[in-house]
């Protein structure tokens, strides 16, 4: 069974909070951010996969494959995580996580 985990990005404070075990932010979960509201965060789900270096892959991560960068996204129609036009089933592509769209927006500059 796939492990269900989330991380959260706070755009105003520009901070990523890891190891959330639920998408709900209960009082004290965010340490120094206990007064923030849930709606202040952008939540990203763990795909259940790791890159070729063993790093966990989350929604909104930027993956590099064959010197091209792709964003991990949830595709509603396919009910699956995708990386560009590729469906995630397992990481047989040998790709690596090089950042995410919130902390490293420069990774996708010039991309469609």
83 part of a folded domain: yes
Domain that holds residue 98: 6-102
More reliable by pLDDT, 106 or 33? 106
109 part of a folded domain: no
111 part of a folded domain: no
76 part of a folded domain: yes
Q: Is the pLDDT of residue 23 over 70?
A: no
Domain count, the chain: 1
47 part of a folded domain: yes
E strands present in 1-112: 6-10, 15-20, 42-50, 56-58, 61-65, 68-75, 80-83, 86-87, 96-100
27 part of a folded domain: yes
Q: Could you tell me the maximum CA-CA distance found in the chain, to the nearest angstrom?
A: 43
| This prediction's pTM | 0.79
pLDDT at residue 28, rounded to an integer: 46
61 part of a folded domain: yes
CATH number at residue 50: 2.30.30.290
């Amino acid at each position: 069974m796939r492990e269900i985990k989330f991380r959260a990005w706070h755009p105003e404070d520009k901070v990523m909070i890891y190891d959330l075990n639920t998408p709900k932010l209960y009082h004290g979960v965010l340490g120094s951010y206990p007064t923030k509201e849930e709606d202040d965060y952008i939540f990203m789900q763990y795909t259940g996969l790791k890159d070729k270096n063993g790093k966990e892959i989350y929604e909104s991560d930027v993956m590099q494959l064959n010197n091209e960068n792709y964003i991990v996204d949830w595709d509603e129609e396919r009910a699956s995580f995708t990386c560009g036009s590729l469906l995630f089933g397992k990481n047989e592509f040998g790709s690596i996580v090089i950042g995410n769209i919130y902390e490293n927006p420069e990774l996708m500059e010039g991309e469609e």
